[in-house]
C-alpha cells in the first residue's frame, strides 16, 4: 500500500468538512492507498497551528505556496474564498499535483477555462466539491431517469434557497464582492446547475432575471457604515435542455425558513420524481396511474449507504456526503474510478452560470455554447 499526502488550504466551515472527510474515509472504506495528512495552511499562523493539531495534520503553514511546494503533499485541497481558487489551483497544477477544489471553480468563466486547460495539460486528477451529487439517493434518481422509469423527460423544476442573508442587516462579507464571489447564483445556484447537468445532460439555452434586493449592508456587524452590494440576492432562469426537456431554475439566499433547500422535480411521460436536500435520505416517486407519490427511503441496498449504516432509515448527513465524495476522489487518484466532477465538467457549469448572467443582464435568450 502506497501513501498519499494530503495538503489542505483553508480552515473555515469547508476546511473542517474536508478534514473530517479525509479522516473518516479510511475508517469507513478499505482504500488502495494510505492517507497522510501532511500539511495545513491558513493565512493566520495561530489558527493554522491550532487546526493542524486538532485535525491531525503533521505541519502548519501560513503561506499556501509553501504547502504546494511541500514534497510531502500529493493532493492539494482548496477550501478558501472563491477568488483564491484560481491562483492556488494553477500553482498546484504547475507543480504537477492533483487538486480538489471547492465550488464554484472560479469567479469567471475565463478563469475556469484556463483551469480546465491547465488540468488537461498537467494530466493530473482534479475534482470540484459538488458533494450533493454523491448522495446515494441522487444516484438512485439518476438510475431511475436513465432506466426510462419516468418515460421521456419533459420538465425540470429546480430551486436552491437558504436564508442566511435574509436579514438586511446581515453584515457585508467576501460573498458580497463580485470579484470575490458571485452572489446567490454562484454560491448556491452552481450546485443546482451541476445537479441539473448530472441528471439530465446539456443545457442548450437560457433566459434569466436576477435581482439585488438589499442594495447595501453594514460594513461589519453592528457598524453604522454601509457598503454597496453588487451581487445578486436571487436569480431565476428558464432552461432549454439539449434533450428537448424544458426547465426552471431559481436560487436565493433571502428565502426565510429554508436552510438547505436544494430541491428538484423531474417530470416525464410516465411519472414524476422529487427530491429535497433538507430530507436528503428520501425521494418521492409518482408513476402514472398511482394514487399518490411513493416515498423511497435510503438504505444499505444503495451504493455507499451500507458503508455507514447496515440498516435503512438510519440516515446519512452532510459530512457523510463529503466522505463519499472524498472516497471517489481517492479511487480516481488510485486509477480505480472516474466518479465526481472534474475541472472540465466544472468549467461547463461555469459556462452555464455565465450564460444566465448574460441573459439576465441583456434580457434575452442566450445560447450556452456562445459564452
- How many Cα atoms sit within 13 Å of 98 on the Cβ side? 22
252-291 tens-digit pLDDT:
999 999 999 999 999 999 999 999 999 999 999 999 999 9
304-343 tens-digit pLDDT:
999 999 999 999 999 999 999 999 999 999 999 899 999 9
| Predicted TM-score of the model (pTM) | 0.96
* pLDDT of 107 above 80: yes
46-57 tens-digit pLDDT:
999 999 999 999
What mean pLDDT do residues 351-365 have?
Answer: 98
* pLDDT of 59 above 80: yes
| pLDDT for the residue 1 | 62
3-class DSSP state of 100: strand
| pLDDT for the residue 287 | 97
| pLDDT for the residue 301 | 95
Per the CB < 8 A criterion, the answer to whether 296 and 143 are in contact is no
Per the CB < 8 A criterion, the answer to whether 281 and 298 are in contact is yes
Per the CB < 8 A criterion, the answer to whether 127 and 338 are in contact is no
Largest CA distance in the chain: 62
Hey, what domains does the chain have and what are their CATH numbers?
2-131 (3.40.50.720), 134-312+342-370 (3.30.360.10)
User: In whole angstroms, what is the distance from residue 136 CA to residue 296 CA?
Assistant: 12
DSSP string, 91-115: HHHHTT-EEEEPSSS-SSHHHHHHH
End-to-end CA distance of the chain, in Å?
45
User: In whole angstroms, what is the distance from residue 143 CA to residue 163 CA?
Assistant: 32
171-201 tens-digit pLDDT:
999 999 888 878 999 999 999 999 999 999 9
Bridge partner list, 296: 283
Amino acid at each position: 500500500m502506497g501513501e498519499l499526502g494530503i495538503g489542505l488550504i483553508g480552515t473555515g466551515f469547508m476546511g473542517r468538512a474536508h478534514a473530517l472527510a479525509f479522516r473518516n474515509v479510511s475508517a469507513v472504506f478499505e482504500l488502495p492507498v494510505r492517507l497522510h495528512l501532511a500539511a495545513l495552511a491558513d493565512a493566520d499562523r495561530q489558527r493554522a497551528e491550532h487546526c493542524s493539531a486538532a485535525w491531525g495534520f503533521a505541519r502548519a503553514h501560513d503561506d499556501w505556496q509553501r504547502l504546494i511546494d511541500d514534497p510531502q503533499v500529493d493532493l492539494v485541497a482548496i477550501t478558501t474564498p472563491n477568488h483564491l481558487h484560481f491562483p492556488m489551483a494553477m500553482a498546484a497544477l504547475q507543480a504537477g499535483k492533483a487538486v480538489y477544489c471547492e465550488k464554484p471553480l472560479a469567479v469567471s468563466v475565463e478563469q475556469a477555462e484556463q483551469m480546465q486547460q491547465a488540468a488537461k495539460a498537467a494530466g493530473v486528477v482534479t475534482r470540484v466539491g459538488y458533494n450533493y451529487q454523491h448522495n446515494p439517493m441522487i444516484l438512485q434518481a439518476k438510475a431511475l431517469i436513465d432506466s426510462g422509469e419516468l418515460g421521456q423527460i419533459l420538465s425540470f423544476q429546480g430551486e436552491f434557497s437558504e436564508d442566511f442573508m435574509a436579514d438586511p442587516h446581515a453584515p457585508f462579507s467576501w460573498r458580497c464582492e463580485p470579484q470575490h464571489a458571485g452572489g446567490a447564483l454562484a454560491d448556491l445556484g452552481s450546485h443546482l446547475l451541476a445537479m441539473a447537468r448530472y441528471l439530465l445532460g446539456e443545457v442548450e439555452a437560457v433566459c434569466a432575471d436576477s435581482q439585488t434586493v438589499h442594495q447595501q449592508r453594514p460594513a461589519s456587524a453592528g457598524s453604522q457604515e454601509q457598503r454597496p452590494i453588487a451581487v445578486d440576492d436571487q436569480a431565476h432562469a428558464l432552461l432549454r435542455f439539449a434533450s428537448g426537456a424544458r426547465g426552471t431554475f431559481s436560487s436565493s439566499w433571502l428565502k426565510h425558513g429554508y436552510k438547505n433547500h436544494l430541491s428538484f422535480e423531474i417530470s416525464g411521460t410516465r411519472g414524476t420524481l422529487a427530491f429535497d436536500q433538507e430530507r436528503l435520505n428520501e425521494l418521492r416517486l409518482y408513476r402514472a396511474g398511482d394514487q399518490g407519490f411513493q416515498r423511497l427511503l435510503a438504505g444499505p441496498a444503495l451504493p455507499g449507504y451500507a458503508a455507514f449504516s447496515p440498516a435503512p432509515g438510519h440516515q446519512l448527513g452532510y459530512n457523510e456526503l463529503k466522505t463519499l465524495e472524498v472516497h471517489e476522489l481517492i479511487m480516481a487518484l488510485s486509477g480505480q474510478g472516474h466518479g465526481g466532477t472534474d475541472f472540465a465538467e466544472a468549467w461547463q457549469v461555469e459556462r452555464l452560470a455565465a450564460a444566465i448572467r448574460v441573459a439576465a443582464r441583456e434580457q434575452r435568450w442566450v445560447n450556452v455554447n456562445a459564452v
